[in-house]
Structure 1
């Protein structure tokens, strides 16, 4: 069988960085937005806040950038992510890019600042190093690690203070590091766990465990101070506001998801306007189909969803589904409503497509109250995505918050919308795969941690009763990596490295282990439950669940981690920003 490329239906913005420039071409003030295009090449968007017009400038490489710095209204310096960690330099007058620079070991540059020596500094992932860029020589240097904790992977933010660069290090152990420009020496600074709260022209303020500490900016000597010294912060007119940028005339330019607003002093609720360039195609994260045969999916960064009608070819792309940044991992339909689970706030969202869209007021889609309640979410990344359980409710498997190993399960009651959470059902391990049949839920665990190096220890396959308890558990030998899970034909199938394990829940026993030539990326049961589709590095395979016979169905355009069937039995799958169809029905 052969597949057919049908559309690029997923399109959105994800603005990570911003600054302002006085454009040397027309001497007008422009706002610069750095857009991350997941699975594609990112771009800069220059917006004229007066006219509302926009200009899009593709980056020379990488998917996008957190770091954007205006250098003397002559150049824009851009530090990219997530694959290469380029340092790009754009000549604003000619709109031309210099040759990209990079450190081969770093994949993220988080932000850039100009030191008191006139040079440009940036922090990175995964080496937790400090980079230095010389604009005159167009040269990039690695100045070494900023943390003495080997498990810290992030030099997440850098700040310029006289004679020094202050660096935030994490995520295994949060601390500040102070790098001295004159000597190149680095030392820890401030209290344990301290983070930068504010830097003014007079002082530096840090915060640790709710306590503030103040330092004179010139010599970093401690000084007396309290919260009254901090700059006043007025709440934004809209939740989910990012990049509040002061303009020269006193107005504020701000971004909210796919839109922006310009707020004059004293204005209460400024008009939201679409970002004035076309949304680029972006990588599809998740796919599901509704009863009408329409395909629904999410972008792998940017917190939006889309709908594609295979009959008409019509596509709809949403605004952001919740105020937190990140992306939707889990999607499932129940009683005409679409239930969602999202990183990075650990959010559950419910959307009724039959009602008007009003996310601004949290009406539709609606973000549900977090459980367990608290100032910070305990579970933030729905790594195992979501399923409708045997109880008819919406279940999700999670990874713990940054700097913590662990995970959990949540259930959203699809009638009352009440949320229940089970944190660390397997202590210290993330839930990485999730499936359900008519009796139980099934999940696998792993050693991944947000902002942490993965750990190697014995991981697990768990049978979970929807009442909230483990009823059976298997421990794999250390070094084995269970991942994807699917239920088909009265069996449960688990991808373990380059093997497929079959579990019989009627006998509480493993039935068979099938060696495979390549690791599995995704598992999907056919609608009749008699076959299991296996997406791997070499193509699409079909396994007969009764006999165990496998056959290759098709080649694939690349790795596939999102696929679904429409009610007529047509298989759709995604690779990058593209949606594909496979006919005839399997």
Structure 2
């Protein structure tokens, strides 16, 4: 029998998940930063930090926040909506799904009216709710859109109208008037353009909206409007006032400090709150908090026989050297534009390790002969060489046997259906992306394996995690001719499968795979025949990068990891053989280095020593 060993927690850094400046009637100010499971209350004058867990020990990710005219702080995390008094450091009200039980996320966006009433949006019902902590009520107003799931922004004008930016499959702006009860699903239509409408309250007190325009290429094209009294008037981009929110995505900051001070950084991942004073100087307050330990994303064996991986929200790059038993966290700034994402898939050619990252389909190239970091000449290691939203959420990568190319695939961006397939020429760093309609229309590549002939086998998913509705019924395997760079065969092996999550190729060119339902199968692409089909759901759920090929004891072996079981594939029978059950639920995999299998259990790095 082998043995399990816990190496440790590579990363203890939390991700800022929205923040707000709160000011009470006496003019006192606090900056409240929300994270997974807690808020951090910061006194901007003294730098004092107070960490406060969510009510009832609730642990989930916030998406937005706001402060009201009384200085209270509103945020939501999963099914819990909560209101905090940051000056007494007490949660004064909260609810956990009971009043809106059908919604997965409460508080996807917030807005306050002139009268001081706070409203919020929900997911996936795209609903508007009214929040009243004084009466301990959470009133459901109605759906902002009958077809879309996301209302990512919300703003209120001077006349009490509320506006929501809707998407992602179809962009638009919805409006609601509390006094009349009028709810207009499409105040402004995006003309069936994919993406999201956006609204914001400007620093001038006006409300502005933007909608994407249809067009070719990657350059953003936008039309702008000023909203008032339920009417939309087109305006030029130059006439749009900045938002009362700073930042982007789920890391926005609401409000501004008094006295001419400006908050320029509020990142828990960097452990600092930085402010520009009225005289132009900078004040940095260290942020002191106890992190939960950051969950680990998939990991890989580097060309130097060291383990590489990142944490997930925020992205920190770490490396483990088994020879020296040395675990190093290189931090988040070393990965250009890494931010709140993670590197999801890896492949190596020569000394170079390629990592494909969420969000935005960023491709990073690490030279493993040098330590990760910023060079004295300003150069980076790793280097960001490419990004493409057609592979917004990478899920797989494979090194081609020609020694020069790496392939990668994954899901597209918000509102899109079907992900691209990327091919990287490592010596030049150039990337070619083939859109889904040239691979498998309306599907995304989640598994890749290379045959000895050089052709590629891909496995697909019909899922659309960016909010669109699936346009296909069943996942497929496909064969890409390497010489022609086009798909020459497609097979529907398992008609009930929505996703072929993982693939590996053995020495006989048999393809081994796992579906999202933990169904294991073996396929012979030469004979075009399904050889094996076994339900492994009793061993747990699928773990990302949980199926790998390794040189173990001089032979090619396929190892697998499900959330409850480590296993190997018998090379003679092609049947899975259970090795052991991890002491904790496995959440990310899988790398093999010199007789050891490495994987993640939440934030902890574990290994199994094979005997």
TM-score (norm 1): 0.85
Q: Distance in 2 between matches of 1:70 and 1:356?
A: 40
What are the residue-to-residue correspondences of 1:141-152 with 2, within 5 Å?
Answer: 141-149=139-147, 152=148
User: 1:569 maps to which residue?
Assistant: 595
Change (3 A) 1:141 1:527: farther
> Of residues 449, 471, 476 in structure 2, which corresponds to 1:460?
476
> Which of 417, 430, 435 is 1:418 aligned to?
430
1:211 deviation in Å? 6.0
CA–CA distance in 2 between the matches of 1:13 and 1:183?
43
Task: Please give the alpha-carbon distance, in whole angstroms, between the structure 2 residues aligned to 1:517 and 1:211.
Answer: 47
In 2, are the aligned partners of 1:116 and 1:164 still within 8 Å (CA)? Answer: no
| Within-5 A mapping of 1:48-59 | 48-59=43-54
Structure 1 contact 387–394 (Cα < 8 Å) conserved: yes
Q: Secondary structure at the match of 1:378?
A: helix
> Does 1:89 pair with 2:83?
yes
Query: Structure 1 residue 366 and structure 2 residue 366: aligned?
Result: no
Tell me if structure 1 keeps the 8 A contact 2:303–2:348: no
Instruction: Summarize the Cα distance change of 1:18–1:180 in structure 2 as closer, same or farther, 3 Å threshold.
Output: same
Return the alpha-carbon distance in structure 2 between the equivalents of residues 195 and 92 of structure 1: 29
The 8 Å contact of residues 156 and 201 in structure 2, kept in 1 or not, is answered as no
Matching of residues 125-274 of structure 1 within 5 Å: 125-149=123-147, 152-161=148-157, 162-193=159-190, 195-196=198-199, 199=202, 201=204, 203-208=206-211, 209=213, 210=221, 212=223, 214-215=225-226, 217=228, 219-221=229-231, 223=233, 225-231=235-241, 243=253, 246-255=256-265, 258-259=269-270, 260=272, 261-264=274-277
Contact between 1:20 and 1:29, CA under 8 Å: does it hold in 2? Answer: yes
Aligned to 1:39: none
Alignment check: 8 A CA contact 1:530 1:544 kept? no
1:52–1:176 distance in 2 versus 1, CA, 3 Å: same
CA distance in 1, matches of 2:361, 2:76: 28
Gap regions ≥5 residues in structure 1: 37-41, 372-376
Whole-Å separation in 2 of the counterparts to 1:288 and 1:349: 14
Q: Which residue of 1 aligns with 2:193?
A: none
- Residue by residue, what CA displacement relative to the aligned partner does 1:340-386 show, whole Å, maximum 9, x if unpaired? 11122111112346256239967333211446xxxxx333111x222
Give the whole-Å Cα distance in 2 for the aligned partners of 1:446 and 1:145.
Answer: 29
Judge conservation of contact 2:391–2:409 (CA < 8 Å) in 1: no
Matching residue of 1:374: none
Report if aligned partners of 1:129, 1:142 keep a CA contact under 8 Å in 2.
yes
Q: Distance in 2 between matches of 1:202 and 1:367?
A: 39
Work out whether residues 302 and 353 of structure 2, in 8 Å CA contact, stay in contact via their aligned partners in 1.
no
Deviation at 1:147, TM superposition (A): 0.6
Matches within 5 A, 1:488-567: 488-490=506-508, 491-496=510-515, 497-518=517-538, 520-521=542-543, 522-528=546-552, 530-536=556-562, 538-556=564-582, 557-566=584-593
> Which residue number in structure 2 is paired with residue 473 of structure 1?
490
Q: 1:78 to 1:291 in 2, by over 3 A?
A: same
Tell me how far 1:226 sits from its aligned partner.
3.3
Q: CA deviation at 1:434?
A: 2.2
| RMSD (Å) for aligned C-alpha atoms | 3.4
Could you tell me which runs of 5 or more consecutive residues in structure 2 were left unpaired when the two chains were aligned.
191-196, 214-220
What is the SS of the residue equivalent to 2:551? Answer: coil
1:169/1:175 contact within 8 Å kept: yes
Taking a change above 3 Å as real, the CA distance of residues 447 and 549 of structure 1, as seen in their structure-2 partners, is closer
Task: Check conservation: 1:324, 1:345, Cα contact below 8 A.
Answer: no
Match of 2:31 in 1: 31
What is the Cα deviation at residue 118 of structure 1? 3.0
**Residues 245 and 309 of structure 1: is their aligned pair in 2 closer, same or farther, counting only changes over 3 Å?**
farther
| Alignment-derived partner of residue 353 in structure 2 | 338
Provide the aligned length of Structure 1 versus Structure 2: 562
Q: Of residues 400, 424, 445 in structure 2, which corresponds to 1:389? A: 400
Rounded to whole Å, the distance in 2 between the matches of 1:535 and 1:224 is: 54
Greater shift after overlay, 457-466 or 508-517?
508-517
* Alpha-carbon separation, structure 1, partners of 2:535 and 2:493: 16
The aligned counterpart of 1:448 is: 463
524-533 vs 437-446, greater mean Cα deviation? 524-533
Provide the rounded CA distance (Å) in 2 between the counterparts of 1:309 and 1:220.
Answer: 61
Report the Cα offset of residue 289 of structure 1. 2.5
Match of 1:301 among 313, 336, 356: 313
Equivalent position of 2:194 in the other structure: none
SS at match of 1:573: strand
Match of 1:288 among 300, 304, 315: 300
| Cα distance, 1:50 vs structure 2 | 4.5
Deviations 1:164-196 (A, max 9, x none): 221122212111111221243311344312543
Q: Specify which of 313, 331, 337 is matched with residue 323 of structure 1.
A: 337
What is the CA–CA distance in structure 1 between the aligned matches of 2:264 and 2:473, rounded to whole Å?
A: 45
